């Protein structure tokens, strides 16, 4: 008959060597060292051992328990922490707190465009759009910008080598440099009266710095009806300024020149810049030039109108105190999250 103590010892040594992870190790602990484990059972055999062998049996059984305990601790150390399973397959701890998903948000320029659409919408302006790849005719010719005008300089525009589609007007194509193109497109297809705004991207090959990027946004306005005057333009701009920047906002029109308006003006708005109130230039405006009406087939004797074009980044930067336009397009979520 084999000795039960020797047998348990070799069985325990074999089992321990085969253990590969903390779960198996815990299983071993229960099986051998638990309150109903094999070591306990060995002690119950002491009753049936002949009296003269009892002291030796008891001593050897105690020694075995000490040995198994120290082998167990040793194996546990080899396997690392008893709570971290060493198995190769990844395990899922469903009690760990999860990572909250980060919510995205509307880009600050899109928010600004939405707000502007809303403010002008309340004043009865519909939203119109036009293509970003434009032809020479809509970007310049119909807007009364003659052939030799410096605004057409190739250094100031993104002309395209391969025009998208054929131009019936025979001109070059370019990425539009102003949303005024949409005035032409709307008037070509719509009979007056007209009351639209046209938000969109425009492109100019400017060096990037704190106030310039080669793509930015404008919002164009066009109002055509009988007997429209400069007073209507100014009233509309005042109402816009009050609705968007608050009732204390003031506007001022400075005489200027644009080929497609006569007279023309630069629009400034007095707003809070840091701690003081200051005049900030937001864009241009004026009364639609009769040549523009003729280009789209409106009778300039019958129809009158005003137009304006504002810089959207400028509006957003002033509103939120953003001092570098490039931040708007670098897609750094730490910046974008603030709005």
Residues making contact with ligand DAH (CB under 6 A): 178, 180, 220, 258, 261, 283-286, 307-309
> CB of 237: closest distance to ligand DAH in angstroms?
11
Nearer to ligand DAH, 192 or 309 (CB): 309
Distance separating alpha carbons of residues 108 and 97, to the nearest angstrom: 32
Considering the complex, state which of residue 65 and residue 176 has its C-beta at the smaller distance from ligand DAH. 176
Do β-strands 126-127 and 194-203 pair in parallel, antiparallel, or remain unpaired?
A: parallel
Give me the sheet containing 158-159, strands edge to edge.
133-135, 173-175, 158-159
**Cα dist. 191→123, 219, 265, 299 in Å?**
20, 22, 26, 11
Give, rounded to a whole angstrom, the gap between the first and last alpha carbons of the chain. Answer: 84
Q: Which is nearer to ligand DAH, 8 or 316 (CB)?
A: 316
Nearer to ligand DAH, 32 or 258 (CB): 258
Alpha carbons within 13 angstroms on the beta-carbon side of residue 94 total 0
Q: What is the closest distance, in whole angstroms, from the C-beta atom of residue 337 to ligand DAH in the complex?
A: 31
Smallest gap from residue 173 Cβ to ligand DAH (A): 18
Nearer to ligand DAH, 144 or 180 (CB): 180
Whether the CB-CB separation of 288 and 306 falls below 8 Å is answered with yes
Residue number, 71 or 317, with CB nearest to ligand DAH: 317
Q: How far is the CB of 153 from ligand DAH (least distance, A)?
A: 14
User: Torsions phi, psi of 174, nearest 5?
Assistant: -155, 165
**What's the closest the beta carbon of residue 258 comes to ligand DAH, in angstroms?**
4
How many angstroms separate the CA atoms of 128 and 183, rounded? 9
CB of 183 to ligand DAH, least distance (A): 7
Handedness of CA 203, 208, 212, 218 (dihedral sign): positive
């Amino acid at each position: 008959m084999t000795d039960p103590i020797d047998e348990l010892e070799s069985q325990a040594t074999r089992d321990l060597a085969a253990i590969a992870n903390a779960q198996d190790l815990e299983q071993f602990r229960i099986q051998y060292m638990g309150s109903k484990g094999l070591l306990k059972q060995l002690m119950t055999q002491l009753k049936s051992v002949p009296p003269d062998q009892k002291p030796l049996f008891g001593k050897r059984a105690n020694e075995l328990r000490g040995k198994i305990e120290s082998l167990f601790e040793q194996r546990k150390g080899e396997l690392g922490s008893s709570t971290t399973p060493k198995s190769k397959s990844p395990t899922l701890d469903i009690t760990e707190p999860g990572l909250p998903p980060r919510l995205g948000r509307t880009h600050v320029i899109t928010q600004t465009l939405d707000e502007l659409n809303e403010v002008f919408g309340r004043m009865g302006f519909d939203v119109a759009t036009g293509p970003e790849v434009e032809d020479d005719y809509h970007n310049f010719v119909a807007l009364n910008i003659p052939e030799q005008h410096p605004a057409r300089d190739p250094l100031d525009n993104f002309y395209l080598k391969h025009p998208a589609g054929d131009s019936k007007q025979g001109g070059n194509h370019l990425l539009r440099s102003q949303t005024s193109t949409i005035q032409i497109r709307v008037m070509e297809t719509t009979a007056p009266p007209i009351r639209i705004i046209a938000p969109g991207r425009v492109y100019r090959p400017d060096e990037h710095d704190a106030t310039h990027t080669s793509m930015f946004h404008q919002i164009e306005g066009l109002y055509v009806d009988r007997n429209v005057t400069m007073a209507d333009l100014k009233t509309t701009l005042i109402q816009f300024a009050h609705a968007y920047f608050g009732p204390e906002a003031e506007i001022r029109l400075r005489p200027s020149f644009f080929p497609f308006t006569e007279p023309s003006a630069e629009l400034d708005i007095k707003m809070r810049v840091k701690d003081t109130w200051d005049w900030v230039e937001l864009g241009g405006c004026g009364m639609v030039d009769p040549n523009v009406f003729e280009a789209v087939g409106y009778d300039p004797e019958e129809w009158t109108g005003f137009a304006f074009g504002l810089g959207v980044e400028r509006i957003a930067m002033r509103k939120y105190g953003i001092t570098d336009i490039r931040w708007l397009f670098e897609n750094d979520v730490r910046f974008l999250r603030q709005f």
